[in-house]
């Protein structure tokens, strides 16, 4: 198993662009107390990230047996950097209510799980 630098770069780019987008306009996405919105966000994110992973692995021309390593490479920036975002949530995302930090953390786990499932599941 190895780290795929191409997918690591994609993961870093997705993390950076997602963080900037949430910092600028994330207040409507995380709404504490609105459990249905949260469930819909989680339910949409899981298959979307599986699809993103599969498309990126195909674009990188990775053999199927290397997709799990590709998924790890893709989610690594999120897994390493977003715990810091969660700890300093009010400073990183001043436009999002601080009580939404838990929803944010759960959403990140769903996104990462989606990418990992995208690599693990068959066609």
Average pLDDT per run of 10 along the chain, which is 123 residues long? 91 97 92 89 97 96 95 97 96 95 95 97 73
**How many structural domains comprise the chain?**
1
**What pLDDT shows up at residue 51?**
97
**What pLDDT shows up at residue 28?**
86
Q: Is residue 27 part of a domain?
A: yes
Whole-angstrom distance, CA of residue 42 vs CA of residue 111? 8
Q: What is the pTM of this model?
A: 0.92
Q: Is residue 5 part of a domain?
A: no
Burial class (CB in 10 A: 0-12, 13-18, 19+), 119: buried
Q: Is residue 58 part of a domain?
A: yes
**What pLDDT shows up at residue 1?**
61
**What pLDDT shows up at residue 75?**
98
**What pLDDT shows up at residue 31?**
83
Q: Is residue 15 part of a domain?
A: yes
User: In which domain, by residue range, is 73 found?
Assistant: 11-120
Closest CA to 5 of 56, 79, 65: 56
Q: Is residue 89 part of a domain?
A: yes
State the DSSP H helix or E strand holding residue 52, giving kind and residue range, or none if neither.
Answer: helix 35-59
Q: Is residue 114 part of a domain?
A: yes
Question: How many residues are given for the chain?
Answer: 123
Q: Is residue 2 part of a domain?
A: no
């Amino acid at each position: 198993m190895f780290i795929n630098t191409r997918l690591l770069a994609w993961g870093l780019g997705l993390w950076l662009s997602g963080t900037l987008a949430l910092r600028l306009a994330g207040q409507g996405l995380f709404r504490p107390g609105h459990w249905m919105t949260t469930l819909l966000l989680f339910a949409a994110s899981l298959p979307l990230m599986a699809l993103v992973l599969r498309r990126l692995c195909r674009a990188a021309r990775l053999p199927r047996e290397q997709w799990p390593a590709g998924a790890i490479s893709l989610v690594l920036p999120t897994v390493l950097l977003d715990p810091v975002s969660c700890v300093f949530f009010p400073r990183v995302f001043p436009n999002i209510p601080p009580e939404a930090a838990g929803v944010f953390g759960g959403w990140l786990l769903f996104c990462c799980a989606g990418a990992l499932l995208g690599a693990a599941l068959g066609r």
